[in-house]
A and B are shown apart, each in its own frame.
Chain A
Amino acid sequence: MALDEASLLFSPENVVTLRFYSWAEPSATFGRHQSFQFVERELKKEGKPALPCARRITGGGLVFHGEDLTFSITFPWGEPVTPNEIYQSLHNLIGEELRQEGISLNLKSEPSAITGLNKICFSVPEKSDITTPHGDKILGGALCRKNKRGLYQGSLKTSLISLSLSRIKQAIFRGVCVFGRQKPKEDIHFLEHSQTALLVEKYRSQNWRLRVP
Chain B
Amino acid sequence: MPKNEECRYMKSHEWAYMDGTEALVGISDHAQKEITDIVFVETPKLGRKVSSGESVATVESVKAAFDIYSPLSGEISAVNPEISKDPAIVNKDPHGQGWLFRIRPSRKEELNSLMDWEQYQEFLKTQKH
Binding site for B on A (CB under 8 A): 31-33, 57-60, 79-84, 87, 111, 115-117, 126-127, 141-147, 213
A83 contact from B12, B30, B42, B61, Cβ within 8 A: B61
B64 contact from A115, A144, A147, A213, Cβ within 8 A: A144
Interface centre among B12, B36, B58 (most CB of A within 10 A): B58
Q: List 21 A-B contacts (CB under 8 A).
A: A32-B60, A33-B58, A59-B65, A60-B63, A79-B127, A80-B34, A80-B128, A80-B129, A82-B34, A82-B36, A83-B61, A87-B63, A115-B39, A116-B39, A117-B39, A127-B62, A143-B65, A144-B64, A144-B65, A145-B64, A147-B67
Q: Which 3 A-B pairs have the closest CB atoms?
A: A83-B64, A143-B64, A59-B65
B63 touches A141 (CB 8 A): yes
A80 contact from B30, B39, B42, B58, Cβ within 8 A: B30
Tell whether B40 is near chain A: CB-to-CB under 8 Å: yes
Q: Select from chain B the residue with minimum beta-carbon distance to A115.
A: B39
Binding site for A on B (CB under 8 A): 12, 30, 33-36, 39-40, 42, 55, 58, 60-67, 127-129
A59 touches B64 (CB 8 A): yes
Q: How far is the CB of B51 from chain A (nearest CB, A)?
A: 15
Complex CA gap A21/B116 in Å reads 45
Given contacts A79-B129, A213-B40, A59 and B61 within 8 Å (CB-CB): yes
A126 touches B127 (CB 8 A): no
Complex CA gap A111/B36 in Å reads 13
Given contacts A79-B127, A117-B40, A213-B42, A59 and B35 within 8 Å (CB-CB): no
Q: Select from chain B the residue with minimum beta-carbon distance to A79.
A: B129
Complex CA gap A33/B72 in Å reads 25
Chain A residues, Cβ within 8 Å of B40:
33, 117, 213
Complex CA gap A81/B65 in Å reads 14
Q: Select from chain B the residue with minimum beta-carbon distance to A87.
A: B63
B60 contact from A59, A80, A127, Cβ within 8 A: A59
Interface centre among B36, B40, B62 (most CB of A within 10 A): B62
Chain B residues, Cβ within 8 Å of A58:
63-65
A142 touches B63 (CB 8 A): yes
A146 touches B55 (CB 8 A): yes
B63 touches A146 (CB 8 A): no
Q: Select from chain A the residue with minimum beta-carbon distance to B69.
A: A147
B65 contact from A32, A79, A116, A127, Cβ within 8 A: A32
Q: How far is the CB of A98 from chain B (nearest CB, A)?
A: 20
Q: How far is the CB of B87 from chain A (nearest CB, A)?
A: 10
Q: Select from chain A the residue with minimum beta-carbon distance to B43.
A: A213
B63 touches A82 (CB 8 A): no
Interface centre among B35, B61, B64, B66 (most CB of A within 10 A): B64
Chain B residues, Cβ within 8 Å of A82:
33-36
Chain A residues, Cβ within 8 Å of B67:
145-147
